[in-house]
Chain A
Amino acid sequence: MIGRLGLRVAVALVFLFMIAPILSVMVWSFSGGRLFVFPPSAWTLKWYGSIPPAFLAALKVSLLTAIGATVVGVAVGVPAALALVRGALPFSRALSAICLSPLMVPGLVIGVASFQFMNVIFDVFRLSLLESVPGLILGHAAFTVPFVIRAVIAGQVQYDAAIEEAALSLGATPLRAFFTVTLPMLAPAVASGAIFAFLMSFDDVPVALFVGGGSATTLPVLILNSVQFNFSPDILALCSIVAGAIVLLVALCSRLFGLDKFTGPSHS
């Protein structure tokens, strides 16, 4: 009894420790008095009305980039994962190691590499990707694709090839079986990969630092700059909105795709 109670208290403490910084940001975003006094001496909503337009522009860049990088991640990652697991490809182990390797590389290295790569592209094709949303998407694809690949591969571990054969024996063409059975079964895995890919792209600083800038400054980069030079509570308001939106997004996807089932113990 005491052991279980102790465990619960410990879990609650760890959870509080993890979530406290975010909660304090949210609390201070409503603070009308001096900054960083806890609890705030006065309450206000004014910071939410005074978010500078530059931040909203950066938010737009970040959202477009994250959506684009997620779409690329899913479009490339899902077929790649299916091919790796079921394609009976030669050297499939080595191939999947190569596909997943960007996850092991520090973001800074990906940033430098993307920067170099886009310079080469400009020299060869006269196509300027630097300081643009497409450039950011391309840079972020270096980790969103492997992220989706990993999630879908993990999702297929508990996947039974007989299920597709059952569909075929019932008269479904391979194409129909893929869309009515295989894909829906993989949906939780794809969704979880996509959410994390989205969050990683949205959260990224190193790649955006090298590739973005100028007309394509992302929100994290802008926040980093302003925290250094002119910190103001309206940033806290923006951060609270973003944090709230992300919590809502994850909760919604969890409802829609049953992520709890996917991340939790096997239910088959």
Chain B
Amino acid sequence: MAEVELRRVSKAYGATEVVRDLSLEIKDGEFLTLLGASGSGKTTCLRMVAGFVIPDSGQVMLGGRDATRLPAWRRNTGMVFQSYALFPHLSVAENVAYGLTVRRTPKPEIAARVAEVLRLVRLEEFKDRKPAQLSGGQKQRVALARAVAIRPEVLLLDEPLSALDLKLRGELQAEIRRIQQTLGITTLFVTHDQGEALGISDRVAVMREGKILQVDTPVALYQRPASSYVANFVGTTNFIDGIVLDQNGPFRIGHARDQTQVFTAIAGENGPSFAKGEPCLLCIRPENVRLGAMHPNRIEAKVIHVTYGGQHWVADCDRADGGIMTLNLPAQSGIPKPGEVVTLSWAAEHGVLLKIEDRSHGA
């Protein structure tokens, strides 16, 4: 077990910079997830830690040692791939033993360790099977067992669940987390699925275009996104364009189109600072919006449609300013009809205030 650190690493392929001056620290025993859209550079970062990509500049630190130029086979990392990448000509037990055999571990110890990790992934009775005789979920558990059998300093998983169907994904996600906790192993996990990232990680780093936008616990990331991109990428969010009217005490925000319409919001501890008159973006999660005027921040909207989401109804409403307001309604509650004009409201602490830096969320 060890801590992992990327220090100001960059990587370009031809003229395109895929990773740009990126720094990231994973603590000993921590489960950190790189979350980002496809092509944002997650895999490249993970492969830097594995030793398959050498950064153009910057350093890769493994357990406090500079490993930037150490070849992959001299690093002690366990890797799990989306495609499982099991050795097709070897049995399950031989697959798991591979890394130990390579290390010239004594035979009895190999046998004991293989049995131990196969028990950990609950595949003891499959040890003599060939990979072709396993289901997708079983294959990935073998891959996981093979990776942890060598007691790596860091476990690297690149979209390990993406090839599995939804139900299996949930099960294996829990399994990976359980094994990671049992072994206390430092883990770097890569996914484009925000639900997966929030559910499995100690901390999540959101990546975009080769940079890390925010690293935070899942709760902080969801409740206090630091940018509109993160707010939009992690969960669903409503955005309102505003102008800061008063930044002392709780923020007072005027609607950008109509400053007589005023909202209040509370800045986070490490939230951005604003000047009076500065344009800003107010974002409110759908589950914090209420039907009716029970909260001080209110907006009128016309219901477009209401869809059933199992645990709750999801209502999309048109606002007078052209934006859309999405809210969740309890499954048991009455629901408004399409076309109905309703008042929506939310509490001040549920309004998150963001700088206007990019408009790519499309609000």
**Bound Cα distance A181, B99 (Å):** 12
Asked whether B274 is an interface residue with its Cβ less than 8 Å from the other chain, the reply is: no
Please indicate which of the listed interface residues A162, A180, A181, A184 has the most CB atoms of chain B within 10 Å of its own CB. Answer: A162
B contact residues around A167 at 8 Å (CB):
87, 98, 102
CB B72 to nearest CB in A, in angstroms, measures 4
| A185 near B50: Cβ-Cβ < 8 Å | no
**Bound Cα distance A180, B95 (Å):** 11
Interface string of A226-268 (1 = CB under 8 A from B): 0000000000000000000000000000000000000000011
Residue of B nearest to A176 (CB): B102
A contact residues around B86 at 8 Å (CB):
163, 166
| B102 near A165: Cβ-Cβ < 8 Å | no
In B40-86, the 8 Å CB interface with A consists of 50-52, 71-79, 81, 83, 85-86
**Provided the pairs A267-B132, A268-B132 are in contact, do residues A169 and B87 lie with their beta carbons within 8 angstroms?**
no
A interface secondary structure, majority? helix
Asked whether A171 is an interface residue with its Cβ less than 8 Å from the other chain, the reply is: yes
Asked whether B224 is an interface residue with its Cβ less than 8 Å from the other chain, the reply is: no
Known: A166-B143, A169-B77, A184-B89. 9 other contacts (CB 8 A): A162-B81, A165-B72, A166-B86, A167-B102, A168-B51, A169-B147, A169-B156, A174-B73, A268-B132
Asked whether B146 is an interface residue with its Cβ less than 8 Å from the other chain, the reply is: yes
Asked whether A173 is an interface residue with its Cβ less than 8 Å from the other chain, the reply is: yes
**Bound Cα distance A268, B130 (Å):** 11
In B92-150, the 8 Å CB interface with A consists of 98-99, 102-103, 131-132, 143, 146-147, 150
In A156-179, the 8 Å CB interface with B consists of 160, 162-163, 165-174, 176-177
**Bound Cα distance A181, B85 (Å):** 11
Asked whether B88 is an interface residue with its Cβ less than 8 Å from the other chain, the reply is: yes
B contact residues around A180 at 8 Å (CB):
98
Interface residues of B (CB under 8 A from A): 50-52, 71-79, 81, 83, 85-89, 98-99, 102-103, 131-132, 143, 146-147, 150, 156
The 5 A-B residue pairs whose C-beta atoms are closest, nearest first, are A170-B99, A162-B85, A169-B79, A166-B85, A162-B81
- Partner of A168 from B72, B81, B147, B150 at Cβ < 8 Å: B72
**Bound Cα distance A173, B99 (Å):** 11
| A172 near B52: Cβ-Cβ < 8 Å | no
Number of interface residues of A (CB under 8 A): 22
B contact residues around A174 at 8 Å (CB):
73
| B79 near A166: Cβ-Cβ < 8 Å | yes
**Bound Cα distance A181, B102 (Å):** 12
A contact residues around B146 at 8 Å (CB):
166, 170
**Bound Cα distance A165, B81 (Å):** 10
**Bound Cα distance A167, B79 (Å):** 10
- Partner of B73 from A160, A163, A172, A181 at Cβ < 8 Å: A172
CB A159 to nearest CB in B, in angstroms, measures 10
CB B82 to nearest CB in A, in angstroms, measures 8
**Provided the pairs A185-B88, A187-B89, A267-B132 are in contact, do residues A171 and B83 lie with their beta carbons within 8 angstroms?**
no
- Partner of A170 from B51, B89, B102, B131 at Cβ < 8 Å: B102
Residue of A nearest to B79 (CB): A169
| A160 near B52: Cβ-Cβ < 8 Å | no
Residue of B nearest to A258 (CB): B89
**Provided the pairs A160-B85, A162-B85, A163-B87 are in contact, do residues A169 and B103 lie with their beta carbons within 8 angstroms?**
no
**Bound Cα distance A174, B72 (Å):** 10
- In the complex, 20 of the A-B residue pairs with CB atoms within 8 angstroms, ordered by the A residue number, are A160-B83, A160-B85, A162-B81, A163-B88, A165-B85, A166-B81, A167-B102, A168-B73, A169-B51, A169-B156, A170-B73, A170-B98, A170-B146, A170-B150, A171-B74, A181-B87, A184-B89, A185-B87, A185-B88, A267-B132
B contact residues around A177 at 8 Å (CB):
73
Interface string of A53-66 (1 = CB under 8 A from B): 00000000000000
**Bound Cα distance A187, B132 (Å):** 16
Residue of B nearest to A163 (CB): B85
Please indicate which of the listed interface residues A160, A163, A169 has the most CB atoms of chain B within 10 Å of its own CB. Answer: A169
